[in-house]
Structure 1
Amino acid sequence: MSSQEINGPIPIAHHHDPHEFPECGLSSRSESNNVIPTFLKIWKEKSVQDFKPDPYVATLLNCAMWSFYGLPFVHPDSILVITINGTGFFIELAFVAIFLAFSTWPNRKMIIIFLVVEAIFLAVVAFVTLNFFHTTKARSMIVGILCIIFTISMYLSPLTVMKMVIQTKSVKYMPLCLSVATFFNGIVWVIYALLKFDPYIVIPNGLGTFSALVQLVLYCTYYKTTKWDSDDDQKPHSEVQLSDAV
C-alpha cells in the first residue's frame, strides 16, 4: 500500500483548524457540562433514580466512531473532529461508569452487554476499513455513512422521554439546559459542516437540531403542568431518559 493511496484526494477533505471554529468546541463542551448536575445528583443519592443510560451508551459509540473518522488515515485534516469527539468519548465513559456503579444488577448487566457489543463492532469496523479500503476517499465514505447512522440514532434516543413528557405533562426529567445546549450545538456543527462541505456532519446534526427544537417546544408546552417537588407515581420508570450528544 503506497502513501499515495492513503493520502489520495477526497471531495470532502478540507483543513480543519481547531482555532478556526472554536465555537464548535465550546458548544460541544457546554452540552456535556449541562448533564454534570444530573450525575452529581446520582452520585449524591447513590441511585440512578428514573434516569436511563441509553443516550450515554449511544453517545459513547457515536464519539468513538467520529474519533475514528477523524484519524488522518481515514479522513485527513480533521483535528477539530477528533479532538472534540475524543474528549467526548472519555466524558461519556465516565457517565456510563457512574451508571454502572449505582444501577441495579439487571440494568448493570444490560449496560455491560451493550458495551461489549459496541467494542466488538468498533473492532470489526476498524479491521474492515483499514484492510479492505485503501484510500482515504473510500474510508471516509464508509465510516462517514456509519457515523451518520449512529449520530441519528443518538439524537433519536430521547424519543422515549418526549413520549413520557406528553403522557405525564411533565418535563421534570428533560433538563432545559441540556435541550438548549443540544440545539445550539447542532446549529454550530451544521454551520461548520456547510462551510467545510462535509455532508457526513451536516446531515445528522441537522436532524439533531430538529430533535432538540421539538424538546424545547415540549418544554414550553408542559412546563406549567410539571410537579417539581414530588414524583409522579403514574410515570413508567422504564421510559425516562435524557438526550445527550457531543
Structure 2
Amino acid sequence: MVSHLVNTVRNVVGITGNVIALFLFLSPVPTFIRIWKKGSVEQFSPVPYLATLINCMVWVLYGLPMVHPNSTLVVTINGAGTAIEVVFVTLFLVFCHDKKKRLIVVLIVIVELVIIAALAIVVLTTVHTTQRRSMIVGIIAILFNVMMYAAPLSVMKLVITTKSVEYMPFFLSLASFVNGVAWTTYAFLPFDPFIAIPNGVGTMFSLAQLLLYATYYKSTKRIIAARKETKLEMHVSLSEVAVANGQVGPKKTAGAAP
C-alpha cells in the first residue's frame, strides 16, 4: 500500500517536473524574440544553450530501457529539450555576425555529438547490465546537468562589471530554480542519486543567479533609462543640426534675379 502510494506520488511529481522542465527549455524564447527583432545576438552567450543541449542528450541516453529501465518521463522531456535546444542553437548561429564565435559554436556542437555517440557505443557494447550502464551514464549525466545549471553563471563577470543583468535571462534562472526543486523531490521517491545530486546542486546555482538578479535589478533599470535618454538627446541634437543646415541657403550674387 505504501509502495503504491509512493509510486503514485512519484509519477505525479515526475509529470509536474516534466511540465516545469518544458518551461525551463522554453524560457529563452523572450531572449530569442529580442535577438530576432534586433537581428543580432548582441552580448548574449551561447553557453547556456550548448550546455543544455548536451545535458538533454545524455539524459535521453540515461533514460533508455536498455540503460535505466522505467524512466519514460526522463526520456520524453529530455527528448523534447534536445529538439528545442537545436532550434535555439540554430537561431544563435543565424544571428551571430562574429564568424569566429559562430565557428566555435559549430565545433562545440560537433564535439558534443561525438561525445554522445562514443558514450552510447561504449556503454551499449561493452557493459552488459542495466545497473552498471545506469551508473556509468548517470555519473556523466551528473557532470553535464551541473554544467547546465551553472551555465548562466558564465555571464556573472559581465553582470558584476557592468552592474547590469540585461544579458542574464531572468526566466531561464527562475525556471532552472523551479525545475531543480521539482526533480530533486522526484529523486527522493525513491532515492536516485544520479537525479538528486545534480538537481540539488542546480537548485543552489539557480538561487545564486536569482539573488544576483535581485541585487542588480534596480541598477539595470537606471542604466537602460540613461541609455534611452542619451539616445533621445543625440536624436534631438541631430535633428537641430539638420534643421539648421536646411536654413542655410546659397549666397545670392550681385545682379542675380530675386
TM-score tier after normalising by the smaller chain length: 0.7 to 0.9
User: Cα distance, 1:177 vs. partner?
Assistant: 2.3
Structure 2 residue 89 is the aligned partner of structure 1 residue 93: no
Q: 2:164 and 2:106 mapped to 1: Cα distance?
A: 31
The amino acid that maps onto 2:197 is: I
Structure 2 residue 102 is the aligned partner of structure 1 residue 119: no
| Structure exhibiting the larger radius of gyration computed from Cα positions | 2
User: Cα distance, 1:19 vs. partner?
Assistant: 5.4
Structure 2 residue 186 is the aligned partner of structure 1 residue 192: yes
Structure 2 residue 31 is the aligned partner of structure 1 residue 35: no
Q: Secondary structure at the residue paired with 1:158?
A: helix
TM-score after normalising by structure 1: 0.83
CA contact 1:16–1:78 (8 Å) conserved in 2: no
Task: Please list, as runs of the form range in 1=range in 2, the aligned pairs for 1:116-195 lying within 5 A after superposition.
Answer: 116-195=110-189
Q: 1:195 and 1:189 mapped to 2: Cα distance?
A: 10
Of the structure 1 ranges 18-27 and 194-203, higher mean CA displacement relative to structure 2 is found in 18-27
Q: CA RMSD in A?
A: 1.9
Q: 2:66 and 2:194 mapped to 1: Cα distance?
A: 17
**Corresponding pairs, count:** 218
The amino acid that maps onto 2:212 is: L
User: Cα distance, 1:173 vs. partner?
Assistant: 1.4
Q: 2:93 and 2:145 mapped to 1: Cα distance?
A: 23
Give 2:195's match in structure 1, choosing from 192, 196, 201.
201
CA contact 1:75–1:139 (8 Å) conserved in 2: yes
The residue that corresponds to 1:67 in the other structure is: 60
Give 2:99's match in structure 1, choosing from 100, 105, 109.
105
- Cα 1:19–1:160 shift into 2, 3 Å: closer
Q: 1:128 and 1:100 mapped to 2: Cα distance?
A: 31
Q: 1:113 and 1:220 mapped to 2: Cα distance?
A: 35
Structure 2 residue 42 is the aligned partner of structure 1 residue 49: yes
Q: Secondary structure at the residue paired with 1:194?
A: coil
Q: 2:15 and 2:77 mapped to 1: Cα distance?
A: 11
CA contact 2:170–2:210 (8 Å) conserved in 1: yes
CA contact 2:177–2:207 (8 Å) conserved in 1: yes
TM-score after normalising by structure 2: 0.80
CA contact 2:187–2:196 (8 Å) conserved in 1: yes
Q: Secondary structure at the residue paired with 1:224?
A: helix
Structure 2 residue 221 is the aligned partner of structure 1 residue 228: no
User: Cα distance, 1:21 vs. partner?
Assistant: 2.8
The amino acid that maps onto 2:154 is: T
CA contact 1:183–1:209 (8 Å) conserved in 2: yes
Amino-acid identity (%): 48
Q: Secondary structure at the residue paired with 1:37?
A: helix
Structure 1: state its 5+ residue gaps: 1-13, 232-246
Question: What per-residue deviation string (whole Å, max 9, x for no partner) do you get for residues 63-102 of structure 1?
Answer: 0000010000000000000000000000000000001111
User: Cα distance, 1:40 vs. partner?
Assistant: 1.2
Q: 1:16 and 1:85 mapped to 2: Cα distance?
A: 21
Q: Secondary structure at the residue paired with 2:219?
A: coil
Q: Which has the higher helix share?
A: 2
- Cα 1:179–1:20 shift into 2, 3 Å: closer
The residue that corresponds to 2:4 in the other structure is: none
Q: 2:38 and 2:21 mapped to 1: Cα distance?
A: 27
Give 1:76's match in structure 2, choosing from 69, 80, 100.
69
